[in-house]
């Protein structure tokens, strides 16, 4: 592939370093080869050149928690608490999902994520071979796991076997864009003995784990009643935290829980919108950050958000905790941007360099239109991005140096076809079951 040259009006290298001046970026072999001020000083022959003098380049956003194909269930059950939402609406609809549906639902998610500046996302679902195929085709990065539920022994065993096969087929596939993790759903769907087996398999495959933990007060109460300790303490005692773990939600935590998470270097995916919408609560993010815990940001599935726009999560993360703690410094714009980029990369176990624009880093770059009224004027570019921007300002997206969106046009996805297939599939999903 030819090197790609970008001329932009400004660069956010990371959440603390901004160049508010014309800059060039050269991408080659999937990585950033050069960044320099002004115009590229040498011949641009044999380069793909993108002239975007009124754009700012930022690191691609990293969505640290979600269930991509749940785009098909967007709006299918709203204004309900988590357990009723799951059991009355989501599980019955998910029982009707086919491999084909997961494939098209994941492509719809990839379309939405690319168009809103996300270059890497995590997924925990089923029919994951079909989800991985969608990720490979879309050109985005995915940290993927087979959702594991261990309430029935045989289904639990099959899930572990499927995970083993999935890791063999997909870990490192699509030019390294796909990573595999283990995905036990939650302590209330995975009994202790099963979670021990998950930890053993994680060690054997040398792959991290992602799991939902302490999402609702009810979950924590049930766990204390059943196991005599919180979900966090239970995970430690089962040996799960001896492995690298990304814990989604962590809304209801005691001081002891926070100490355990810090001590075992457990990463947290904060999903403010989903937690608000399901009435689950608000994660104690300022306390997690103070304890030195790596916190990334996620949207969760589109059935509980209801979109996959990471700009909304950034703004919520940066405003919500101020209101709750009556402290305008609680989570700063720079901290929120880091959670969606460099800290998010760390949270999902990508190697250093991801989530930053620096020489040698993977060329995952998003361009925002500085001519947009919401980005005018610039007193503080990071403040504009976190408190004012939205998906609407994203014009171009590169992953591994490849343009997935150029001037608003998707290059890898047939959006017309996705629209058609999603409408077809949802008609089937909504049809009454045959009698
Ligand atoms: Zn989730």
**CATH number for position 288:** 3.20.20.140
pLDDT for 319 equals: 98
pLDDT for 435 equals: 60
Strands 23-28 and 4-14: antiparallel
Ion ligand 1: residues, CB < 5 A? 300
DSSP string of 358-413?
A: -TTSB--EEEEETTSGGG-S-S-HHHHHHHT--GGGEEEEEETTEEEEETTEESS-
- Using the mean position of ligand 1's atoms as its centre, give its distance from the Cα of residue 140 in Å: 20
Quick one: 219 and 276 in the same domain? Answer: yes
pLDDT for 12 equals: 98
Quick one: 162 and 211 in the same domain? Answer: yes
Quick one: 125 and 250 in the same domain? Answer: yes
- Using the mean position of ligand 1's atoms as its centre, give its distance from the Cα of residue 242 in Å: 22
pLDDT for 10 equals: 98
426 in a structural domain = no
For residue 398, give its domain range. Answer: 4-60+359-410
Quick one: 363 and 331 in the same domain? Answer: no
CATH number at residue 13: 2.30.40.10
- Using the mean position of ligand 1's atoms as its centre, give its distance from the Cα of residue 149 in Å: 13
429 in a structural domain = no
Domain boundary among 337, 352, 367: 352
418 in a structural domain = no
- Cα–Cα distance for residue pair 350/231, rounded to 1 Å: 26
Quick one: 334 and 285 in the same domain? Answer: yes
- Using the mean position of ligand 1's atoms as its centre, give its distance from the Cα of residue 227 in Å: 23
Contact 330, 322 (CB under 8 A): yes
pLDDT for 434 equals: 63
Quick one: 278 and 176 in the same domain? Answer: yes
Quick one: 261 and 395 in the same domain? Answer: no
Q: Each residue's pLDDT tens digit in the chain (435 positions)?
A: 899 999 999 999 999 999 999 999 999 999 999 999 999 999 999 999 999 999 999 999 999 999 999 999 999 989 988 889 889 989 899 999 999 999 999 999 999 999 999 999 999 999 999 999 999 999 999 999 999 999 999 999 999 999 999 999 999 999 999 999 999 999 999 999 999 999 999 999 999 999 999 999 999 999 999 999 999 999 999 999 999 999 999 999 999 999 999 999 999 999 999 999 999 999 999 999 999 999 999 999 999 999 999 999 999 999 999 999 999 999 999 999 999 999 999 999 999 999 999 999 999 999 999 999 999 999 999 999 999 999 999 999 999 999 999 999 999 999 999 999 999 999 988 887 666
- Using the mean position of ligand 1's atoms as its centre, give its distance from the Cα of residue 301 in Å: 6
Look-up of token digits 């998610």? 109
Domain boundary among 312, 329, 352: 352
- Using the mean position of ligand 1's atoms as its centre, give its distance from the Cα of residue 265 in Å: 21
421 in a structural domain = no
- Using the mean position of ligand 1's atoms as its centre, give its distance from the Cα of residue 50 in Å: 37
Quick one: 191 and 336 in the same domain? Answer: yes
425 in a structural domain = no
Quick one: 343 and 387 in the same domain? Answer: no
- The number of domains in the chain is 2
pLDDT for 210 equals: 98
pLDDT for 293 equals: 98
- Using the mean position of ligand 1's atoms as its centre, give its distance from the Cα of residue 89 in Å: 15
315 in a structural domain = yes
- Cα–Cα distance for residue pair 222/126, rounded to 1 Å: 26
- Cα–Cα distance for residue pair 128/118, rounded to 1 Å: 20
Quick one: 204 and 294 in the same domain? Answer: yes
- What lies within 8 Å, CB to CB, of 5 at 6+ separation is 24, 25, 26, 27, 40, 44, 47, 48, 49, 50
- Using the mean position of ligand 1's atoms as its centre, give its distance from the Cα of residue 280 in Å: 12
430 in a structural domain = no
Q: What is the pTM of this model?
A: 0.97
Quick one: 164 and 271 in the same domain? Answer: yes
Quick one: 301 and 368 in the same domain? Answer: no
Q: Which two tokens stand for residue 290?
A: 């103070």
157 in a structural domain = yes
Look-up of token digits 């759903």? 185
């Amino acid at each position: 592939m030819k090197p790609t040259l970008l001329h932009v009006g400004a660069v956010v290298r990371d959440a603390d370093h901004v160049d508010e001046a014309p800059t060039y970026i050269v991408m080659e072999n999937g990585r950033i080869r050069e960044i320099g001020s002004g115009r590229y000083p040498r011949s641009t022959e044999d380069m793909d050149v993108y002239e975007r003098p009124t754009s700012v380049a930022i690191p691609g956003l990293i969505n640290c928690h979600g269930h991509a194909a749940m785009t098909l269930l967007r709006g299918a059950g709203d204004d309900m608490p988590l357990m009723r939402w799951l059991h009355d609406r989501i599980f019955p609809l998910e029982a009707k999902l086919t491999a084909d549906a997961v494939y098209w639902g994941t492509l719809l998610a990839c379309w939405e994520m690319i168009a809103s500046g996300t270059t890497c996302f995590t997924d925990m679902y089923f029919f994951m071979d079909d989800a991985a195929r969608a990720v490979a085709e879309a050109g985005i990065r995915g940290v993927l796991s087979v959702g594991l539920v261990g309430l029935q022994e045989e289904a639990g065993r099959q899930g572990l076997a499927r995970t083993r096969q999935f890791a063999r087929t997909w870990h490192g596939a699509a030019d390294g864009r796909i990573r595999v993790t283990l995905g036990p759903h939650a302590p209330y769907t995975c009994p202790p003995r099963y979670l021990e087996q998950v930890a053993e398999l994680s060690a054997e495959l040398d792959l991290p784990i992602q799991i939902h933990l302490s999402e609702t007060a009810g979950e924590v109460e049930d766990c204390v009643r059943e196991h005599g300790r919180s979900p966090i303490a239970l995970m430690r005692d089962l040996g799960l935290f001896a492995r690298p773990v990304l814990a989604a939600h962590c809304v209801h935590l005691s001081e002891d829980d926070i100490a355990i998470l810090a001590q075992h270097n457990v990463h947290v995916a904060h999903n403010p919108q989903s937690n608000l919408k399901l009435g689950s609560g608000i994660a104690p993010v300022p306390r997690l950050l103070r304890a030195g815990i790596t916190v990334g940001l996620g949207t969760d599935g589109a059935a509980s958000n209801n979109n996959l726009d990471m700009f909304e999560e950034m703004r919520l993360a940066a405003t919500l905790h101020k209101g709750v703690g009556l402290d305008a410094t609680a989570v700063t714009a720079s901290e929120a941007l880091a959670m969606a980029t460099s800290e998010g990369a760390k949270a999902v176990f990508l190697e250093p360099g991801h989530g930053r624009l620096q020489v040698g880093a993977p060329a995952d770059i998003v361009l925002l239109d500085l001519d947009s009224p919401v980005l005018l004027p610039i007193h503080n570019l990071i403040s504009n991005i976190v408190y004012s921007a939205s998906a609407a300002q994203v014009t171009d997206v590169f992953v591994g140096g490849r343009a997935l969106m150029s001037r608003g046009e998707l290059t890898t996805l047939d959006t017309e076809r996705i629209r058609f297939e999603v409408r077809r599939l949802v008609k089937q999903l909504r049809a009454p079951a045959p009698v």
